[in-house]
Amino acid sequence: MDSPIKIEHLGIAVRNESEAKKTFSALLGCEPYKEEVVESEGVKTIFYRVGESKIELLVATRPDSPVAKFIEKRGEGIHHVAFGVGDANAALQRLGRLDFSAVNAEAKNGADDKLIAFLHPKSVHGVLVELCSDKP
């Protein structure tokens, strides 16, 4: 299936890793289940489970990363919504035929053992959308 099957996670850009972990651990009543650096994106990801979905804290690991630029321009907050799909590449192709503008030409490796691709916020009413599927 190449249509969204669930909200996979919400990505939240944060400045201070330790403060954000303290806040979200208290809010959610649990500790993160996974932390991972994605060098290609210049980001450290910190994942919490919330029912069937997840919260992903995004901490920039370099000043030129997309997350660092986001925080510089907009401040901390929701960075993207990620939809779980059966096949990220098929979803990207389907949405391209519907005139959605893609940030990525094809899905690439992302955090949490996923293939990911992004849709440009200009084509989704100002929302950065991530499409993610399990790796084959």
Neighbours of 85 (CB within 10 A): 26
Instruction: With beta carbons less than 8 A apart as the criterion, state whether 62 and 42 touch.
Output: yes
Residue pLDDT, tens place only, 82-97: 999 999 999 999 999 9
Domain assignment present for residue 47? The answer is yes
The CATH number given to whatever domain includes residue 91 is 3.10.180.10
Q: Which two tokens stand for residue 58?
A: 């995004």
Query: Count of alpha carbons within 13 Å of 103, Cβ hemisphere only?
Result: 16
Beta bridge partners of 104: none
In a domain, 1, yes or no: no
Question: What tokens appear for 16 in the block?
Answer: 């201070």
SS3 state at 71: helix
- Residues 65-76: pLDDT tens digits? 999 999 999 999
Residue 107 lies in a domain: yes
Mean pLDDT of 99-124: 95
What range defines the domain where residue 81 resides?
6-134
Q: What is the mean pLDDT of residues 116-123?
A: 96
